[in-house]
Every structure is written in C-alpha cells, then in structure tokens.
Structure 1
Amino acid sequence: MTEAELYLDYKGVYVPKLLHPPECLKYYEEFNFRQDDILIVTYPKSGTTWMQEIVPLIKSEGDLTPVQTIPNWERVPWLEVDRTRILNVEERPSPRLFATHFHYNMMPESFFKVKPKVLYVLRNPKDVFTSSFYYHGMALFLVNPGTVDEFMEKFLNGKVMFGSWFDHVKGWIHSKDQEHILHIFYEEMIMDLKGSVRKLSYFLGKSLSEEVIEKISDHCVFKNMKQNKMSNHSLVSAKIFDQTKSEFLRKGISGDWRNTLNTAQSDHFDSVYEEKMKDVKFKYVWD
C-alpha cells in the first residue's frame, strides 16, 4: 500500500493512520501537562522501548512489578496513540510518565506553558535508519521499505513516519528551556548503562542507592529486557507486527548499520548528513 493509503499528513509529517487517527491527535493537542510529568521524546527507533523500561524502574526505586505486569504502552503511553485516550491518564498520580515521537514544534500549547521534564534520546542516524528499515518490513501499518536505496532516499528526505530525523533532532536540541531537557545518547547507554541510570535518576530528582542502580541496570540490559513479554511486543497482534520477518526488539547494538549499508550508501548518507547538520553545534557520542 502507498503513503497516501497508510499515512496522514499531520503538521507536515507522516503519521500512520492506524495508530494516529484524527481524534487522537486532537486529544494530544488539547492535553494538559503537569509540571512534574516526565516525557520521553524520541525519533522512532532511537531507544523508546529501552527508556520505557528504565524510567518506571527509577520511579519505583527498583521495584520490578510495574515492568513485569504492565505492557510498556500502558505504563508509559505514547500521547499521540489512539489507545491512550481510554487509559484515564488524567487520573494517574504524579509523576506521570509519557512518551512521544512529536517534533518540538508539534507539541501542544500546555507543554510550553507548564514545561514538564523531557528525556530526549538521540541515536546514530545510520543505526536509526537501519532499525527503521527492518521495522518497516515487519510493521503492517507502514509502507513496505523496498530496497535499501529506495528507503534511504525516503528517510533522508523525511518521507517516512514522523518525518525528518534531521528536523526532529535540530528542533529538540535547539529548543528553549533546555534546563527542563536532558539529552541522553543510545550509545552511552550501551557503553555505561549504570552511569546512564545514575544520570537519569539525578535529573529526575531520585536518590538511588548503588544497589538499586545495579538492579535496574541488570534488568534493563538488552538481552534481559528482550525476554520481558511486557516489553518485547510479543503480546501485539500479528495483524499489526509480523515478527517472523523481524523481531520488534531486534539487536539493540551500536554500529549495526555496517551490516546493512555498503560503502557507497554510507558515503551518500554522510554527505547528506554533513549538509543538513552543518550549522549544528552539538557534541555527539557516536563515531
């Protein structure tokens, strides 16, 4: 099926119609944030599921019950997804946990007034592309990716779900009120998960013991998290995800793009990246 059949153009970016019908987007536009809300913001395939595992464990101070008994899309719901409207999140006690793939300029009015805490996760765009390529092949509500070359042109031009990676990143790293935003890298979480949990805990105002930090980190190692049926999307209908083509939680590594892109493709990606990000002064951790 085509983009016109599967996607809605919402504020200049593609969103899948199945997950984001107009009524749920209107719900998000009118959503009232609280100042102590915690919002995980990512471009798709940048570590959202990982953060949906870590942050509730920081909130619960290491109690595994929430992540072992509640699906991640309910414990940390995406605010732009249709199902969120029936979760009665308005009645949840503070601090509430949410996730979103929205660009900064797509956020609702109350976000800018209230200024909740934001955890913004960045990942090497080549790995984002690679993960997205396989995801588009197994997610039945997305346009088939075609060849690597075909999907790369769509990705580099922002003609994929949630638009341009470049615009998404630039919008959030250049946004106002940076004191309310913590930037964290997928790669630093791989290199030092305990240090990342410690960093997140400090930003969220949680003083956790080293024993609790180690407990959270051990549970959230990718191979352990992948076994959690409340997080690996094995509970999702086969009419939505065909995990015989690719697992939802696939590898969880850094540098997997090298197994997908050839030299010419990598060089083309680099040239577009350098042009689009030439005016961005921001220190990245990927190589």
Structure 2
Amino acid sequence: MPSLVKYRSALIDSDRWSEFPFRQGDIVISTRSKSGTTWMQMICALLIFQTPDLPEPLPAMSPWLEQVLIPKDEVYARLAAQRHRRFIKTHTPLDGVPMDPRATYIVVARHPLDMAVSLYHMHDNLDSSRLRALTHQPEPSRPSEPRPPLRDWLLQWIDGDVTPATDLSSLPGVMWHLSDAWERHLHRPNVLMVHYDDLLGDLAGEMRRISEALDIKVPEEVWPTLVDAATFKSMKSRADRLVPTTGGLLKDITMFFRRGESGSGSALLTEEEFARYDRRTRELAPADLLRWLHR
C-alpha cells in the first residue's frame, strides 16, 4: 500500500487516519469545506436509519476524524461502539486516507467559486479567539488587517499560488482534492463522485443513486419522508441537531446553513475575470473533471 500523504494544520492531523480500524460497510465522506459535507452526512444517516428521527446528533454519529479538538482514542472508541453502519466525515483528500476495499468513499464536489463564497461567509461566523484558544495558538500582537470585500477576496483566491498541502481550501487545494478523487473513481468501484448541483436539481434521484452505490434498500413508501428531511429548509430547521458545534467555534449555528444555492460565485465576476478563473482551473485539473464540475 502506498504511503499516505500527511495533511496538518492547527485544527487537523490526517495521520489520525493511518491506524483507523475499518470494518465492512464503512462509508467515508470526503469533501472540501462548504461543499456539501453535512448534507451528505445527513443523506447517509437517512438511508441507514430510514427515518428523520436520528438516534443522536449528526456530528456525534459521524465525527470529523482528523480534527484534533477531540482526542483520537475517544473518536476511535465512539466509532468502535457503533452497531449501525458507520459514516465518517473527512476533509482530507483520498491520498491521505487508507483506501480499504471494505469501505465506500463518497466525494462531494461543488463549483469552486460557490464553495469559495460560502467559505468567505463562514469565516465571519467563526469565533477566531475561541479557535486560537482551543488549538493553543497565541493571540496576535496587533489587530489583523480587515479582509477585502468579497469580490476582491475572490479574485485573490483565484490567483492564489500555494501548494495544496499548505492550504487545502485554496483553489489549488480544491482542484487537487477533486482531481485525485476523479482519477480514483474512474478505476475503483468503491469511490463515488457526487455533484452539489445534482443534489440541488434532483435530490430524490441522487439519493436513490447513492443508496444503490451503498447497497441500501429503502421501501418505496419511505422515500418521500427521507427526501423531505434532506432538503435545505428541513435541515436548517434542525440546525441544533445537525451542525458541527465542537468547541463552540460557531457564533450562530443557524448561519451554518446560509443559502444552499449555486451561481453566487460566477455572478460576482466579469466575463474577463471568469475567463481568468477558467484558465487557472485548466492549469490545475484534467479537462474531463472540469467538464463535469463546471457543467
């Protein structure tokens, strides 16, 4: 087995995956932040339990394995105690996660410009002082510079030239995560690619496709209830049970579900600026992935 790439920051350590004891039927949900992670966790929960009345809050059932705020042994023990089919969250690209033949890997992709806009707004909802305290980082000696307005920030994000490992939420980081997953899904039947816009456009159809990939049978009369529970409106109404709240990092959990739409990123750019984005992505990802991602 090839060695795993290690991704580390103040908040994550992907090496926590290296000794994880997989078991038959495990589901690994691998996404970039603000690309439909919680949505896919909810869909998996609904398919597994076949009821909107989940036995525990979603983050407790489906922990973010590489996040360091909870000790690794505690996360391992929580997952080992689960008797239902396990579904585990990760923001680590698949080259940093063991590829176990007993598991299914679901990678959710969102148009990178929409993801970036959502990421920008999420930053405003994070308690930075709380994050520094939990990750043992010192308070800055001077006030940080104010962030640029969204449109200016988005243009800087498009042009940012960093390595994926340095910043997985950068455009190079997003494209690496998706390119690696795309190549794997072409050759591995246990890697499933899901597009955020397909979930928006045909939630019922995509949930059926996911259930088939996971070999989960759902009685026909149960489907309407499950699909309704996975809608943006329904999930936002249950934010207290679905939003990841570890460490109290969010100022307002209801703002976690902000809009749940597509197109906001492209709408900010002129035709010339969008062409700049298009050229940049063609430098970073294969053409067949980009056709699927940008369709």
Q: TM-score range by the shorter chain?
A: 0.7 to 0.9
TM-score, reference length from structure 1: 0.80
From 199, 202, 211, the counterpart of 1:192: 202
Q: Distance in 2 between matches of 1:250 and 1:281?
A: 27
Amino acid in structure 1 at the alignment position of 2:110 = R
Which residue is equivalent to 2:167?
A: 160
Where do residues 1-40 of structure 1 align in structure 2 (5 Å cutoff)? 11=5, 13=7, 15-17=8-10, 19-20=11-12, 25-40=14-29
From 47, 52, 58, the counterpart of 1:64: 52
Amino acid in structure 1 at the alignment position of 2:201 = M
Shift of 1:145: 8.7
Identity %: 23
Q: Given the alignment of the two structures, is residue 230 of structure 1 paired with residue 237 of structure 2, yes or no? A: no
- Could you say what secondary structure the match of 1:273 adopts? helix
Change beyond 3 A, Cα 1:135–1:198: same
TM-score, reference length from structure 2: 0.78
Which residue is equivalent to 2:119?
A: 132
Amino acid in structure 2 at the alignment position of 1:133 = Y
Q: Given the alignment of the two structures, is residue 270 of structure 1 paired with residue 278 of structure 2, yes or no? A: yes
The answer on whether the counterparts of 2:41 and 2:58 sit within 8 Å (CA) in structure 1 is: yes
Change beyond 3 A, Cα 1:145–1:119: farther
Q: Distance in 1 between matches of 2:194 and 2:208?
A: 12
From 95, 103, 112, the counterpart of 2:93: 103
- Could you say what secondary structure the match of 1:39 adopts? strand
Note the residue ranges of structure 2 that are not aligned, 5 or more in a row: 133-143
Q: Given the alignment of the two structures, is residue 92 of structure 1 paired with residue 98 of structure 2, yes or no? A: no
Shift of 1:96: 1.1
Change beyond 3 A, Cα 1:104–1:26: closer
Change beyond 3 A, Cα 1:256–1:84: farther
Summarize deviations over 1:199-237 as a string: whole Å, max 9, x none: 11111112213331211111111011011111245x566
The answer on whether the counterparts of 1:43 and 1:101 sit within 8 Å (CA) in structure 2 is: yes
Note the residue ranges of structure 1 that are not aligned, 5 or more in a row: 1-9
Which stretch has the larger CA shift, 216-225 or 170-179?
A: 170-179
The answer on whether the counterparts of 1:136 and 1:144 sit within 8 Å (CA) in structure 2 is: no
How many residues align? The count is 264
Q: Which runs of 4+ in 1 moved over 6 A?
A: 142-145
From 2, 22, 35, the counterpart of 1:46: 35
Amino acid in structure 2 at the alignment position of 1:76 = S
Q: Given the alignment of the two structures, is residue 220 of structure 1 paired with residue 230 of structure 2, yes or no? A: yes
Which stretch has the larger CA shift, 198-207 or 155-164?
A: 155-164
Shift of 1:170: 0.8
Q: Given the alignment of the two structures, is residue 252 of structure 1 paired with residue 260 of structure 2, yes or no? A: yes
The answer on whether the counterparts of 1:35 and 1:117 sit within 8 Å (CA) in structure 2 is: no
